[in-house]
Structure 1
Amino acid sequence: MKIALPAACINGIKSFIDRFFTRKNSALLIWLSIFIGLLAGSISALFDHGIIWVSEMRLELIHTYGGGEVPLWVIAVPISSIMVGIAFYITHRFAPEAGGSGIPEIEGAMEGMRPVRWKRVIPVKFFGGLLALGSGMALGREGPSVQLGANIGRMISDIFKVDKVDAQALLAAGAAGGLAAAFNAPLAGIMFVIEEMRSQFNYSLTSTKSVFMSAVMATIVMRLFTNQDAVVTVTQYSHPDLHTLGFYLILGFCFGVIGLFFNKMILATQDMYLSIHQNQRWRFVGIGLFLGAVFGALTIVEPDIAFSGIELIPHVEGGQYLAGGLLLLFILRTFTTLLSFGSGAPGGVFAPTLALGTLFGMLFGVIAQALFPDLITEPGAFAIAGMGGLFAATVRAPITGILLVIEMTSNYEMILPLIVTCLGATMVAQTLGGRPIYTQLLERTLKLSMRAKRQETTDKAMFRILGKYSKYKK
């Protein structure tokens, strides 16, 4: 039996579709955003599987040639050293802007201050990121995913020759798709663009829909490649007692102070590396060879302070470490995260920051339980809140941090303590004069770029003067 829809209903549907797609090139922009989301999700999934494959190949080589009389770390050192050395070389040689997380580059591009050379960045970021992360460095995959997604957005903009405003919207859509796919977190990907890139993003109904479409499609593709489970498997906590919210606020205050100093240490570490390599390629690659050797050994000797830290989160939250071990791990992972991210290796800092937040949050929970055993019964809940707390203090995007943690862990009933912790962290960081880490990194990049241009102009002028002088002497 066929059911005929009323003519008024059919006309209403057609009218809605027309209004949705046909406003000022909206149709093209929406469909391009869907396409960008599909591509961003696909490349993020390939990147994720590629990291796993490279890591497994590295371990297979280590176990093939090591063991017995030859310690495994002795074999791991040259393998990881070569991997990171190659990553540093191709980054410095072909696309220096592919170093680091790449997120400041995208924010700069949205303001028209940084170029987007997608023909170079996409292959360099992809393969350089595979080698750096696969070697065991304390880096996250979200930075490369965001930059890859954004560069795909610019690639599609160039191919279809869209105007400047629409190109910016597609760039943002690609970034949202990249983050959504990296963490299986579509809401966090959307909010990251709206909150973190609020000063660069050109808000309009069409551009916002583009971001939504890309994030949704990228997440769908990622889940088809992997699964629909949460990225991190942890305990599912119920609503905490209201009288414990004060402890979450204090935890947030602690993260506000920690985040302020963490951002300062990132910038100081980058300055230290710059003073060593002075932008000379052989020195830059030498740093990569050294770091690869260090992290190659750490992956065998002490893997808890290497890698991104995502795999460590369930063990920390599950209570497998005592207070002393948590403090030691927090200090050591802070050091390895700074060494990795500050070097300019192609990798992100989101995942290592989440791991650090989990460690300190769990440490806080263990201490609070020891002092107030009648009030605090589940210290692991503070580990979940800590994931968002440090993120909020460093990136200064509290809503993104809240959504990211909830989607990553499926702990939807932890939303209230997460809000309290992230709000406290943001308030303290702002009161102490802290600024978002990506804003500071972008400013640093622009200053270094201007300095390089001035030096280049000075050098050319000197060559011209010397050339004229030599002719005069002749």
Structure 2
Amino acid sequence: MLLAIAVGGGAGAGSVVFRWCILAFTRAFSGHTDYASAPGSSNPHVPWLGPFFVLLAPALGGLLYGPLVNRFAKEARGHGVPEVMLAVAQRGGKISPKVAVVKTLASALTIGSGGSVGREGPIVQIGSALGSTLGRLAKVTEGRMRLLVACGAAGGIAATFNAPLAGVFFAMELVLGTFSAEAFGVAVLSSVTASVIGRAAFGDVAFLTLPRFHVDHLTQYGLFALLGVLAAAVGTGFSRVLYLIEDACDWLWRGPEWLRPAVGGLALGVLLLALPEMYGVGYPVLEKATEGRYAIGLLLLLLVGKVLATSLTIGIGGSGGVFAPSLFIGAMLGAAYGLGAHDLLPGTAGAVGAYALVGMGAVFAGASRAPITAVVILFELTGEYSIILPLMLAIVLATATSRLLSRDTIYTLKLRRRGIDLTAPAHDAPLGFQRVGAVMEPLPTPLLSSTPLPDAADALSHSGYDALPVVDEAGVHIGVISAQAVAEALMEDPEAVPTGIGELTEPSTPITTDQNLAQAVHVLLNGAGSGVPVFDSARSRPVGWLSHRSALRAVHPVPAQ
């Protein structure tokens, strides 16, 4: 717990430094605190250039952060969260400490010089690197190291967006990929600590100022549901375009990598000259959209512009997150949808801003498939409980639709393109790629579903297993009975104890002989006991048994006697 608090303090301080760097570089490159609040204006430092300074700003920024990233930490390139997910899933939570420094400078330079990316990816990577470094110094176990990395991510999100709950759920839903009481507890400690530091530095206000909304008519729920489906398509499309443009940049570029952001920055500058609202993160533009201050045509133009600007920024080698751009895209989609709904159903559609708000959460959920984080952070942005029902409806539908449209999220797709599957072991891992059929044991003698509990207890105690397969009277496999289930049943009221083990049998998740061990181990770990049946390739009947012992024999085979 003390380490979690320390990581939260470091992440909070890191977020303060990071935001200060963004502000300093934005003023240096644009002459404004946030150029998106005055798009198209000139730079006071070089007024003779007029608005054409945006042609050079991204190139100059790239000339600074390109060599920095290429020389000291190549993993600081891009949007950061996939690298943290990979470190937690396959590298024991180990992240180089220099990533925190390089990511801070590179991302601040990218955003300050006009890169159309967000600050959540960098602060997640910065906080996670701090957590990993502290864990390494304290010589914690691998499991605790992963928790400290998640604590750093939670603290970074909490301090940057003044959203402590969202920080916790972001860390658990996206970084750890699992929920537990211990993980939740330490993430909360880190998030609260970082939030206190963030509020002391930035004030106790949300990072976005949004109007309050209400749902006034039941018909609006149908409109919000349709918006959730559309948002899933837009979020998935954003993921595809992002990596399509990155592939195009890889194919076009033939020079040294350190020079790529500078040369690519000229192309980004052309886009910024045509659409200066894309400069930086773009929160002022997002706020105006939620207030209904843009027409449908401009909103759709800004949506497409953000997709292209963010994709180009990442493609040329920039450093920044995709969370804020997905919120921006969602706000444009939702506001345009709301205006259209208001024109068609002026008496029932309600406020345009409500659709913008729901669109923000739904597009992020569609791109990341992190529905809990999406609901919580949008709720923390507004503090308006009346919008929570349509928000939940749209986000759940966006998540479900996204799963139908794409196998991967905007985060995991980056890794899969590199041949990395987070659910599989690392390529050099000694356990995982063997076939189950090569390591399984003979199938234990099954029990009949009508076997009385005392007889089942006797059979389990003499079998050497803590779970056994169960068949019906026709000999058809129906599941597995565990020693724990039998023992718990025997401790209950005799009148409530079932006469046979059929009611206590748990269905088997099919594992086949031709599956690799990595997939089977996940099923084994979640099974009723320490073993699970292995089926033939047609999944028609069990032909073997996989236990923890047989899985470990894949690492150290027992020599034949």
**TM-score under structure 2 length normalisation:** 0.70
Cα pair 2:15 2:198 within 8 Å, conserved? yes
Q: Could you say which residue in structure 2 is the equivalent of 1:373?
A: 346
Work out which of the residue numbers 76, 89, 100 in structure 2 matches 1:111: 89
State the AA in 2 paired with 1:225.
A
Work out which of the residue numbers 134, 138, 145 in structure 1 matches 2:112: 134
Q: Structure 1 CA distance, aligned partners of 2:398 and 2:131?
A: 33
Work out which of the residue numbers 167, 174, 186 in structure 2 matches 1:189: 167
Q: Could you say which residue in structure 2 is the equivalent of 1:44?
A: 15
Q: Could you say which residue in structure 2 is the equivalent of 1:230?
A: 206
Q: Could you say which residue in structure 2 is the equivalent of 1:384?
A: 357
Q: Structure 1 CA distance, aligned partners of 2:295 and 2:161?
A: 28
Q: Could you say which residue in structure 2 is the equivalent of 1:250?
A: 226
Residue 94 (1) aligns with residue 72 (2): yes
Rg (Cα) greater in structure? 2
State the AA in 2 paired with 1:232.
L
Residue 168 (1) aligns with residue 139 (2): no
Cα pair 2:93 2:142 within 8 Å, conserved? no
Segment drifting more, 248-257 vs 429-438: 429-438
Q: Structure 1 CA distance, aligned partners of 2:30 and 2:175?
A: 39
Work out which of the residue numbers 10, 17, 25 in structure 2 matches 1:54: 25
Gaps of at least 5 residues in structure 2 are 33-41, 422-426, 429-561
Cα pair 1:273 1:343 within 8 Å, conserved? yes
Work out which of the residue numbers 310, 317, 322 in structure 2 matches 1:349: 322
The alpha carbon displacement at 1:85 in A equals: 2.1
Q: Could you say which residue in structure 1 is the equivalent of 2:524?
A: none
The alpha carbon displacement at 1:295 in A equals: 4.3
Work out which of the residue numbers 263, 266, 269 in structure 1 matches 2:245: 269
SS of 1:435 mapped into structure 2: coil
Q: Structure 1 CA distance, aligned partners of 2:44 and 2:183?
A: 52
Q: Could you say which residue in structure 2 is the equivalent of 1:26?
A: none
Q: Structure 2 CA distance, aligned partners of 1:57 and 1:331?
A: 28
Q: Structure 1 CA distance, aligned partners of 2:270 and 2:283?
A: 20
CA 1:185–1:117 in 2, change beyond 3 Å: closer, same or farther?
Answer: same
Which one scores higher on RCO, CA 8 angstroms, separation ≥ 6? 1
How far does the alpha carbon of each residue in 1:161-195 deviate from its partner, in whole angstroms, 9 at most, with x for none? 11111111111111111111221111111111222
Q: Could you say which residue in structure 1 is the equivalent of 2:494?
A: none
Q: Could you say which residue in structure 2 is the equivalent of 1:180?
A: 158
Matched residue count? 414
Q: Structure 2 CA distance, aligned partners of 1:198 and 1:146?
A: 13
Segment drifting more, 239-248 vs 285-294: 285-294
Cα pair 2:214 2:354 within 8 Å, conserved? no
CA 1:65–1:189 in 2, change beyond 3 Å: closer, same or farther?
Answer: closer
Residue 152 (1) aligns with residue 125 (2): no
The alpha carbon displacement at 1:74 in A equals: 4.1
Residue 213 (1) aligns with residue 184 (2): no
Gaps of at least 5 residues in structure 1 are 1-29, 455-474
SS of 1:71 mapped into structure 2: helix
State the AA in 2 paired with 1:48.
R
Q: Structure 2 CA distance, aligned partners of 1:342 and 1:420?
A: 34
Q: Could you say which residue in structure 2 is the equivalent of 1:397?
A: 370
**TM-score under structure 1 length normalisation:** 0.82
Cα pair 1:135 1:296 within 8 Å, conserved? no
Q: Could you say which residue in structure 1 is the equivalent of 2:259?
A: 286
How far does the alpha carbon of each residue in 1:11-42 deviate from its partner, in whole angstroms, 9 at most, with x for none? xxxxxxxxxxxxxxxxxxx0010010011011
Segment drifting more, 179-188 vs 106-115: 106-115
CA 1:297–1:343 in 2, change beyond 3 Å: closer, same or farther?
Answer: closer
Q: Structure 1 CA distance, aligned partners of 2:258 and 2:109?
A: 14
State the AA in 1 paired with 2:181.
L
Q: Structure 1 CA distance, aligned partners of 2:267 and 2:275?
A: 11
Q: Structure 2 CA distance, aligned partners of 1:310 and 1:234?
A: 11
Segment drifting more, 354-363 vs 172-181: 172-181
Greater than 6 Å deviation, 4+ residue runs: none
SS of 2:396 mapped into structure 1: helix
* Mapping of residues 11-26 of structure 1, within 5 Å: none
Alpha-carbon RMSD: 2.3
Q: Structure 1 CA distance, aligned partners of 2:138 and 2:354?
A: 48
The alpha carbon displacement at 1:302 in A equals: 3.4
More helix by share: 1
Q: Could you say which residue in structure 2 is the equivalent of 1:8?
A: none
Residue 34 (1) aligns with residue 34 (2): no
Q: Structure 1 CA distance, aligned partners of 2:389 and 2:150?
A: 29
Cα pair 2:93 2:132 within 8 Å, conserved? no
The alpha carbon displacement at 1:296 in A equals: 4.6
The alpha carbon displacement at 1:340 in A equals: 1.4
Q: Could you say which residue in structure 2 is the equivalent of 1:410?
A: 383
State the AA in 1 paired with 2:16.
A
SS of 2:282 mapped into structure 1: coil
The alpha carbon displacement at 1:294 in A equals: 4.2
Q: Structure 1 CA distance, aligned partners of 2:266 and 2:405?
A: 38
The alpha carbon displacement at 1:235 in A equals: 1.1
CA 1:241–1:310 in 2, change beyond 3 Å: closer, same or farther?
Answer: same
Residue 306 (1) aligns with residue 282 (2): no
More strand by share: 2
Q: Could you say which residue in structure 1 is the equivalent of 2:46?
A: 66
